[in-house]
Amino acid sequence: MGMGVLSDGTPFLTQRGLAVLCGVENAHIGTISSQWDDEVEKPRIRKIREIIESHGSAIESPHIELKIGGRVIFGYREELSLAVLEYYAFEAGQFKQEEALKHYRLLAGRGLKEIIYQALGYSPDQKLDKRWQPYLDRVSQVHNAVPQGFFSIFREISEMVVTLGENGVFMDDGIIPDISVGKAWGARWADQNLEGKFGERQKYVHNYPDYFPQSVSNPQHPWCYPDDALAYFRNWFQSEYVRGGKFHNYLESQARQSKITDHTAKLAIEAYRPSLIGDKS
């Protein structure tokens, strides 16, 4: 059964996972998402909303969009998943599913959250270095903000952010590498007229966490770029930003401003040594 846990500990089922739980075809779950905001509300959608409200919850969107392995999947949170399961177990009339009823009974006395946590070996009490929290809080602010068909710099440089953190350079209100990458990439986009090749970029809403000084000017409106340009961006990022010296220069500038120590900058640079083909030092 497809499932996962978001960085903030929120469990979810994939569209296929929820379909298996309810004993229906994958497409039936997909239509819940596609019909959720229809002007004329379908009886099934109305009943699922009523179930959610009867449990003391309310949701604006039935799913969250997640990029995994270069593709977008829909993730369904516990509140929606349990409401859909209850619908197919008891409220779907001639379309009630024995599989849904069986799973509903199996869940009696146990939350779906606990089952997902157990299946994935996830512990919400696991200790996390608090220095990661600013980055995780930013992730939670933007996880569903970029429109479909576009990519954001913030999300695309996550591997670099993790590598930096593992070597003592943690993203916070002073270390914001996506700004550095975004400025360099934006210059390339304009200089090479990439809009003519890949289509127009557009802006999306991004809010900094309340405790960031930058939050006073929320909402921010950074650029996001057409997915058609993603392969080009990734090649540029590795060949020019990382190997071309911009990454090295960014870390050294942070050290000069005393945002990180010289020693920490050297550790982070060393972590990328295999990628720095042009580095002769």
Pairwise pLDDT comparison (168 vs 201), residue with the higher score: 201
Between 238 and 277, where is the model more confident? 238
* Separation between Cα atoms, residue 198 and residue 189, nearest integer Å: 10
Instruction: Give the integer Cα–Cα distance in Å for 50 and 38.
Output: 16
**pLDDT value at position 170?**
81
Q: For residue 150, what pLDDT is reported? A: 93
Residue 22's pLDDT band (cuts 50, 70, 90): very high
Residue 233 has, within 13 A of its CA and on its CB side, a CA count of 26
The per-residue pLDDT of the chain, averaged, comes to: 84
pTM above 0.85, yes or no: no
Predicted confidence band of residue 231 (pLDDT cuts 50, 70, 90):
very high
Say yes or no to pLDDT of 254 above 90: no
What's residue 279's pLDDT? 43
- Tens of pLDDT, residue by residue over 33-90, are 999 999 899 999 999 999 999 888 888 889 988 876 567 889 999 889 999 999 999 9
| pLDDT computed for residue 25 by the predictor | 93
Q: Is 123 left (phi over 0), alpha (psi -120 to 50) or beta?
A: beta
DSSP letters, 77-121, are: EHHHHHHHHHIIIIISGGG--HHHHHHHHHTTTS-HHHHHHHHHT
Beta bridge partners of 202: 224
- Which pLDDT tens digit goes with each residue over 119-157? 777 666 666 677 888 888 888 777 678 888 999 999 898
